[in-house]
Structure 1
């Protein structure tokens, strides 16, 4: 019996091994690996170490203990931002809203 953890790939839905960093192990033919390789599995927020984080997707923006809340940092990739909005919706019932780092910096002045 293997002790390797497994989960579904967020792109191709294939049952895949997870690396020690909890990201999906590379899969698919060499030279054209599945885009879900080295990404978090299905059902998890989309960005891990895929690029520079430029903001977050959340709902509601400000935490309120009386309402469901979800928030995750995201990179530049528009597809990852779309996935993050949908992930927030699975947790809260509301599609997430993108808040760029400029919003936080601009509000601090």
Structure 2
């Protein structure tokens, strides 16, 4: 039995151990995934599949991906902060859809600034 919890890598689908910070441990890409087998998988160090794609270590936060855009307690709601990476934003939009049934809407940081 492994000392580390395990989860599926969001990029290559490999069953991988998680670090103490709940990020996928570094691992090599898998044959047949189009990833370099000799190099590190780009899913290394990122949240596992099924979790929002960005975390505190991802980079500068651009805003959030959510639905609905304005919170309504009568509707299912999901929201995740996202960085400027378009791939991460697409992953976050899909994650919101998996939780609410609606594609996520991007709300930039300037739009959520407190007045």
Give your verdict on TM over 0.5: yes
C-alpha RMSD over aligned residues: 1.6
Unaligned runs of 5+ in 1: none
Deviation of the 1:40 alpha carbon: 0.3
Q: Which residue of 1 aligns with 2:76?
A: 68
User: Which residue number in structure 2 is paired with residue 41 of structure 1?
Assistant: 48
Deviation at 1:35? 0.5
- State the secondary structure of the residue aligned to 1:82: helix
**5+ unaligned residues in a row in structure 2: which ranges?**
30-36
**Equivalent in the alignment of 2:32:** none
2:61 is matched with 53
Name the CA distance, whole Å, in 2 between partners of 1:3 and 1:28.
20
State the Cα deviation string for residues 12-65 of structure 1 (Å, max 9, x = none). 000000000000000006962101000000000000121011100000012212
* Equivalent position of 1:92 in the other structure: 100
| Separation in 2, partners of 1:3, 1:31 | 26
Match of 1:10 in 2: 10
Q: How many residue pairs are counted as aligned between the two chains? A: 107
Residue equivalent to 1:24: 24
Secondary structure at the aligned position of 1:72 is classed as: strand
